[in-house]
Chains A and B, each alone.
Chain A
């Protein structure tokens, strides 16, 4: 997992819960990196998992919800650093449906060793998008957060239904329905 994910996560934790919390979850985790993350580095996903679990225990918020918040937070980074992607699209559904074929492709060009989920578009109409999320990391709620923020970016909103195809969350169907005012 790219270092940027870790650095942003710890910054969010620091912002929301303070440095003590950061120190706490790091100390309580067995991290090969000893908690020293740089954005340009690469670290094992298991470290993120441990940090998340510790945070979840400490805050008594489910990992899913934590990931949802993180996803929402992470969106701003993307918006800040990669504005050209956003300029390419006029509506959220088109953008979301081209994550797999365009955005992630560009990402891989720059970070060839990035671990990215796959999105398979089952259905894509003007108002409905059905995608199947596949990832060993099962960070579906992170994705959800990004999706919500995407709609917000385009001054729109949608109802998103998650259907776990695999119980461990490594395969999830997102049914996204745009709300037309």
Chain B
């Protein structure tokens, strides 16, 4: 190797050595440092451990003896460790138990507990967790829990917690809150209803019921009255209607009101005093509100379950009662004052309305003659154009002077007022006549208060009408007195016992007795015999029933003569509507009766005669008919027997004979008919004339060249169908037979005139000469010596028309035609 190379290597080696030494030095320094650091750490560790141990044992001691309950459980809620306090609180005998804390949770709280546990696991701590639990002995307590997770190698393995029993403090919290709430809510109001309502609602809430009522206690009326109940709906203003009321001493509430001692009942079925309302409530809590040693109100609460209320609640309500006592008292007295005030205002108002609407004019003046009060009637009477309100305070000193012109005696008016005011004594019913004719009645009433003159009242009543009525009444009385005195009818007034009270002149005349002879005597005794008495008794009964009627009675007058009187009697009542007797109007109808009986006689004679006549007519015609028939038969036989040997003129004679016989027969029948028509026979019914006409047309043989028409629909008539038939038949028959024209026209019609039907039958026949118009209606009168006309037809028509109260006449022109008119009453 060259020296150069050796040098190079040597230098390189030297460098390596130096490098190595340096490295070693560095390492050594580092080692020493490391060692030192290590040593330090060790020392620290030891310190920490001892610290830990110390704290641990201290903690242990603390945890063992801490007042608060300390529990360690696994993550499934199984108890791992408990301290003494926990053992006691949770109701165990010792701390060595195998128990799952979930059993202490109430079902309603499961969710809450589970959520909070999740939170605990997530955050590692759980603070201020309050929950109600049921401990091992079944006691329900409210606990406050602070918990944290215990980790092992950063994994949660258990949970530990400190528990505090806050049951009582919670309860106290609630009580304080209730009391605070109540005091606050009643602070702002003096309204007794509002105070009571708020209080009942809050108490009901606190006691966990919906039934709480506050009653006021009225010792003067010995009554307990409901003020408000928690179930009330808020009312707008004023009093509630139908408040529960009952006597002090009745029921639990009444008892408490009386004794002033609160009551807590766990089972009302065992207490006799309990009054059952709608449903039975087994628990009741009643507390009096007392101030100045008097019970002024009662708080009462009920619940359907037994043993619902606790002693603690009772004491709380008693506290509340004490606190609100003064407030309630003030509010009650305020509401009473209010009520009284309201009543006063109401009566004042009523008075005001009364006065303002009085029919009398009222003027109330004070001692200085200034108007205090007046009404619109007064202003009206005195023509004052102001409203009553506007007049208050006005001065009346010159009023009399101002108003005197309204009155007839103006000066007298003023003087009288002056005199009255001077004396200041009551003056009633002073009459004042106004110029307008009105009459006023005035009262003056001075007003004294404790003998001090305080003003006076003028009251004016318009009595104009009253006076008029009185006058009118007087006049009427006069009038009727005159009538009674002077009428031709006899007036007799008797009492209930038929004793005569009064009679008029006419009666005296009728009876022959003077009034003084009759008064006090019994009417029936004076005038009647036994028979007549019976009649009177019947009528009296009717009178008593209050009926008025007329009757005839036989009496004996003073002279002993029998007379017949028509009496119209009516009951007489007094002012109270009681029957006090009767008043009778008497008419002497003796003469009339005589006449009547005579007439009756005549009528019956007439009737008989009529009947006889009819009979006669029937017999005669019958008897006449019979030979007629014979003759007819005989003549026809003869004709038939000798028909061959008879010549023309003989046959003609026979024909004549037959016709004459027929005529005679018709005549006899006609007479019979005529005599048999009378008003009484026959039916009375509604007859349709149109039907009648049609029937008649059917019956009659109407030649073709004749036309019968009705101008309009004929009316209905009341009467006998047969008679009407007869009437139209005869008229139509005449019209037909006497028609000489090529085309015969018969028209039937009617008009309504003066409440009568005026019928007409018009034909265009041969007409009738005027000179015969009156006579054709006479029986047997006939103008034409026609074989078919008997001459009776029209007289029958006339008779029928007259039976129905009508008239018959005709108009005719020879050769032109005839119109028969007749009227029938509607």
Q: Do A and B come from one complex?
A: yes
| A→B interface (CB under 8 Å) | 7, 19-20, 22-23, 26-27, 34-41
A-B contacts, 24 of them at CB < 8 A, read A19-B8, A19-B9, A20-B4, A20-B5, A23-B8, A23-B11, A23-B12, A26-B11, A27-B11, A34-B18, A35-B11, A35-B15, A36-B14, A36-B16, A36-B17, A36-B18, A36-B19, A37-B15, A38-B19, A38-B20, A38-B26, A40-B27, A41-B22, A41-B23
Min CB distance A35 to B, Å, is 5
Question: Is A34 a contact partner of B15 (Cβ separation < 8 A)?
Answer: yes
Q: How far is the CA of A36 from the CA of B26 in the complex (A)?
A: 14
Question: Is A38 a contact partner of B12 (Cβ separation < 8 A)?
Answer: no
Question: Is B15 a contact partner of A26 (Cβ separation < 8 A)?
Answer: yes
- List of B residues within 8 angstroms of A7 by Cβ: 19
Q: How far is the CA of A23 from the CA of B13 in the complex (A)?
A: 11
Min CB distance B648 to A, Å, is 170
Q: How far is the CA of A35 from the CA of B16 in the complex (A)?
A: 9
Q: How far is the CA of A25 from the CA of B20 in the complex (A)?
A: 21
| B→A interface (CB under 8 Å) | 4-5, 8-9, 11-12, 14-20, 22-23, 26-27
- List of A residues within 8 angstroms of B18 by Cβ: 34, 36
- List of B residues within 8 angstroms of A41 by Cβ: 19, 22-23, 26
Q: How far is the CA of A22 from the CA of B15 in the complex (A)?
A: 11
Name, among B9, B16, B19, B23, the residue most crowded by chain A CB atoms within 10 Å (CB to CB): B19
- List of A residues within 8 angstroms of B27 by Cβ: 40
Question: Is A40 a contact partner of B23 (Cβ separation < 8 A)?
Answer: yes
Min CB distance A132 to B, Å, is 35
Q: How far is the CA of A27 from the CA of B5 in the complex (A)?
A: 14
Q: How far is the CA of A97 from the CA of B169 in the complex (A)?
A: 65
Question: Is B23 a contact partner of A39 (Cβ separation < 8 A)?
Answer: yes
Min CB distance A41 to B, Å, is 5
Question: Is B8 a contact partner of A36 (Cβ separation < 8 A)?
Answer: no
Q: How far is the CA of A121 from the CA of B735 in the complex (A)?
A: 152
- List of A residues within 8 angstroms of B17 by Cβ: 36
Output the nearest chain A residue to B18 by Cβ-Cβ distance.
A36
Partner of A36, one of B5, B9, B22: B22
Known interface pairs A7-B19, A23-B11, A36-B16; 11 further A-B residue pairs with C-beta atoms within 8 A, sorted by A's residue number: A19-B12, A20-B5, A22-B12, A26-B11, A26-B15, A36-B14, A36-B15, A36-B19, A36-B22, A41-B19, A41-B23
Partner of B19, one of A20, A26, A37: A37
Min CB distance A12 to B, Å, is 15
- List of A residues within 8 angstroms of B19 by Cβ: 7, 36-38, 41
- List of B residues within 8 angstroms of A27 by Cβ: 11
Contacts A34-B18, A38-B19, A38-B20; is A20 near B8 (CB within 8 Å)? yes
- List of B residues within 8 angstroms of A22 by Cβ: 12
- List of A residues within 8 angstroms of B5 by Cβ: 20
Q: How far is the CA of A41 from the CA of B20 in the complex (A)?
A: 10
Min CB distance A44 to B, Å, is 14
Min CB distance A123 to B, Å, is 41
- List of A residues within 8 angstroms of B14 by Cβ: 36
Closest 3 CB pairs of A and B: A36-B18, A38-B23, A23-B8
Output the nearest chain A residue to B22 by Cβ-Cβ distance.
A38
Q: How far is the CA of A40 from the CA of B12 in the complex (A)?
A: 19
Q: How far is the CA of A22 from the CA of B14 in the complex (A)?
A: 13
- List of A residues within 8 angstroms of B9 by Cβ: 19
Output the nearest chain B residue to A6 by Cβ-Cβ distance.
B19
Q: How far is the CA of A7 from the CA of B20 in the complex (A)?
A: 12
Min CB distance B272 to A, Å, is 92
Q: How far is the CA of A20 from the CA of B16 in the complex (A)?
A: 15
Output the nearest chain A residue to B23 by Cβ-Cβ distance.
A38
Q: How far is the CA of A41 from the CA of B27 in the complex (A)?
A: 10
Min CB distance B681 to A, Å, is 146
- List of B residues within 8 angstroms of A36 by Cβ: 14-19, 22
Name, among A23, A35, A37, A41, the residue most crowded by chain B CB atoms within 10 Å (CB to CB): A23
